Amino acid sequence: MRMFRPEVFKAPRDFERPDYFERLSDDSSLKVALEIGAGVGLHALTFAAQNPEVHLFAIERTAEKYQKFEQSHTIQPLVNLTSIHADAIPWVIHAVPPRSLAQVFILYPNPEPKNAAQRWFNMPFMQFLLSRMQTGATLTLASNIEAYLDEAEEQLNTVWYLPYERTQVTTARRTHFEIKYMARGEPCGQLLVTKPENYQTPFDAWTM
């Protein structure tokens, strides 16, 4: 795995660093979650409503999906949810300080069938994302493609050396994709990854 180079990524257009992260150093009780690829926001809105003690930053790159997300957020305003229209990688680099995330969600990402290097657990960016997670933080990856989860599991065992639990999704209805797949009877699975104590990355003290 080649070394990730965060310094080459420019900030997203009209970027403003959330001041919420500045409060973390003063209040250890604050919890922050990140969702990458929030789509139209079903999981983000549900999670934020059910977890008022956690502030969720939910990122969606596609303009059409983000607009629908924003419309739903306007109807259901939640002070602990921030929706972001940006590419996740530069936004995380410029916005998120080290050891600040308690949870990360990557739910039904594009499987990138023609470009394996763009799958999340195959990307050097993963080492940077792990540096932004607290000790004990969890990352949830869900997919309806068994081979995608198999590959991610292999990477966890041979590249990232992280503990995880692999389970089948049974009753969750977190995203529209999950609802569609389960209505068809397609099996959905997930990996729940935990960042252990003393886990180190090259970016543990790196800030933009």
**Per-residue pLDDT tens over the stretch 54-86:** 999 999 999 999 999 999 999 999 999 999 999
pLDDT of amino acid 19:
86
Measure Cα distances from 18 to 15, 34, 56, 57, 91 in Å: 9, 13, 12, 10, 11
CA angle 199, 203, 208 (to 5 degrees): 150
The pLDDT tens digits for 132-179 are 999 999 999 999 999 999 999 999 999 999 999 999 999 889 999 999
Confidence grade of residue 189 (pLDDT, cut at 50, 70, 90): very high
Provide the percentage of residues in the chain whose pLDDT is more than 70. Answer: 100
pLDDT of amino acid 50:
96
Is the domain spanning 29-194 CATH 3.40.50.150? The answer is yes
Partnered with residue 60 across adjacent β-strands are 85
Spatial contact of 16 and 86, defined as CB atoms under 8 Å apart: no
**Residue ranges of the domains in the chain?**
29-194
Confidence grade of residue 9 (pLDDT, cut at 50, 70, 90): very high
The pLDDT tens digits for 12-42 are 989 989 988 888 777 777 899 999 999 999 9
Q: Edge-to-edge strands of the sheet including 164-168?
A: 81-85, 54-60, 31-36, 101-107, 133-143, 189-194, 164-168
